[in-house]
Each structure stands twice: as structure tokens, then as C-alpha cells.
Amino acid sequence: MNRVIKELRAFLLFIRDEQNRKTIIMIIISVILLTSVSMLKSLMSGAKYISAGNGTVQGVIRDDTDETVSFPLKVEADIDGKKKTKDVTLTIRGDNKETGEKTDHKDERTLFETEISEMISRLSEECSKRIMFPSSLSDGTELIWRKGSSSTELILVFIAPFLIWLLYINGERKKRELIRNKISSVERDLPAFNDQLLLMMGSGLIFREAFMRIAEGYRKRSKRSCFEDAIVEIEDETRNGVADIVSVMTRKAESMGVSQFSRLAGIIRDNQLKGYDISGKLKSEAEILWDLRKRNAEERGRLAETRLTMPLALLLLVLVLVTAAPAIIQVEGG
């Protein structure tokens, strides 16, 4: 239940986004236009139902016998006290072309379904403009014909929610992929950043100067990771006087949602605001970060081995077949 509520909240946030809202409106307008065109085409085709009242129909009329028209129908019958219903589409082709709907396997279907299929097949070959439906089966069972639902219009009705949901799923997938990339980047690059801080501060630089030099080094790289971009952004905000480095770094760490980065930001905050010794804490943090990076690398290696199991098994099977094939052919030939 909590998962459903969480998913619903995420979907509402997705809809409230201005860009997503514009896309959703375009999808709805497009589907409405397509549905209107489909309905207008049906009205202009000259195909009409002959109504018998109470929602039932007795037949159909077409204005042009050379034009192919389709009539979605629903036929009902009371057989042995049970109501049977079948949805069919009567397609009447111009010039009396064969529809290919005839059925020869009567033993594989019930009498009701078989006779209805045969009726539709016969009606589709009619050449007249006015076509009346049979009122009963061969055994006298009364038939009730009604208008059916067009499959095209049904598809168009459901296509808008489907496209919106697909857009949402795609957006969530990209969002999760971005979060994974951020976490992976921080876990991979944070240990080296911590060591750089430790070395520079150990050589006499204060934290602000060490951070600035590391950020400038990242800035010169042609291709930067998510973590390196974050460090450069922190330096830019601090240099422009938007806020002090402690608050900017804390906010950036919270937005990235990685505990290791938040912990390092906390160490730097304690040093800048309370004057705590930072060197000892950075050394302890370095051991934790490198150990975590090592464990993550081992986990990714095990996952890669699992993913390679199936391809390797297939390659082994191919190798066995290629190796054994000459021997098998020779035995059979002998």
C-alpha cells in the first residue's frame, strides 16, 4: 500500500511539471483529433444501421456498393437457458470480393459460433445496398443483433492513458538512472578527493585554498563526472559570493543523497565553524571510503560474473557442437 501511495505521489509530481504537462496536453489533443477523424470517416462512409428499437438492429445500409465498409456488431442468443454473446465485425467489400472469413471446421466450434461465422461470411458477400440480418439460427433460436464497438475507436480511447503512463515510466527510469550515476560517481571519486584535501592541507594550505585548487583541476578536464561537476559548482557559488562554502557544500551533499558525501561535508562544517582538527578525521574517513570503494568494486565484479554466465554457457555449447560435429558426421558416415 505504501508503495502505491509513493508511486501515486511521484505521478502527481510528474504531472505538475510544466514540460510534462505540455506533453500530456499535446498527447490528449492528438488522440482527440484522431478519434474525431475516425468518427467523421465512419459518418461520411454512408454506412448506417437499421434500428429496431431497444438498442437492437435489423440490418445495415450502405450508399455505395463499390466501397468497402465495416460494421461492428454484437449478437446475442438464449441457448439452453444460457445467454451467449459474440462480438463480430461485418466487413462488406466492394465488387463482391471474398472476405476469407468462411469456416469449414464445424466440429471444433459450438453451433452458435459456427452459424454466426457462416452468417457473417454470407452477409459480407451481399451486393445490395440494404442488408438484413437473420432473425434466428437453423434450430429456431432467436438472435438479437446490436451495435458493437469499433476496435479503432477503443484503441484510440486507451492510447492516451497508455502514452502518458509510458512517458511517466520513461521519466522515472531516467531519474533513477541519474541517481545511480550520481551515487556511483561519488563513491568512485570521493576517496581521491578526500586524499587530495589531506595531502594539500598537510603541505600547509588552508582548507579553502586546497578546495579551490582541486576544483580548478577538475574544471580543466574535458570530461567530468557528476561528483567533479558538483565540486566545480560549489566553487563557483562560493566564489561569486552566493553563500559560504560550508552551507553550499552541505546543500549539495543533501541534494545528491549520498551518505559518504554528507559525512565529509559534516567534517568540513565542524572544522570551519567549530575549529575541530580536520586532518585526523580525514585520515579516518580515507580508510572508510577506500574500503567502501573496494567492496563496491567486488560487488560489481560478482554481478558482472552473474550476467556473463548465460553468454558463456551458450559459447560453451557452440564450442562443444563445433568440436563434436566432425566426429558425429564421421561415425554416421562410417
SS3 271: helix
pLDDT for 19 equals 83
- The CA-atom distances, in angstroms, between 195 and each of 33, 216, 217, 245 are 61, 16, 14, 19
- The CA-atom distances, in angstroms, between 117 and each of 52, 147, 253, 256, 301 are 22, 17, 68, 63, 60
pLDDT for 66 equals 64
pLDDT for 174 equals 83
pLDDT for 154 equals 63
pTM: 0.50
CB 285 within 8 A of CB 263: yes
pLDDT for 104 equals 46
pLDDT for 107 equals 40
Q: How far is 131 from 129, CA to CA, in rounded Å?
A: 6
pLDDT for 169 equals 86
pLDDT for 1 equals 66
Q: How far is CA 224 from the centre of its chain?
A: 29
SS3 38: helix
pLDDT for 42 equals 60
Of 103, 56, 93, the residue nearest 77 (C-alpha): 56
277: DSSP letter = -
pLDDT for 8 equals 79
Of 217, 251, 247, 253, the residue nearest 232 (C-alpha): 217
Residue positions counted in the chain: 334
Residue spans of the chain under pLDDT 70: 1, 38-47, 53, 62-67, 93-111, 149-154, 156-157, 242, 330-334
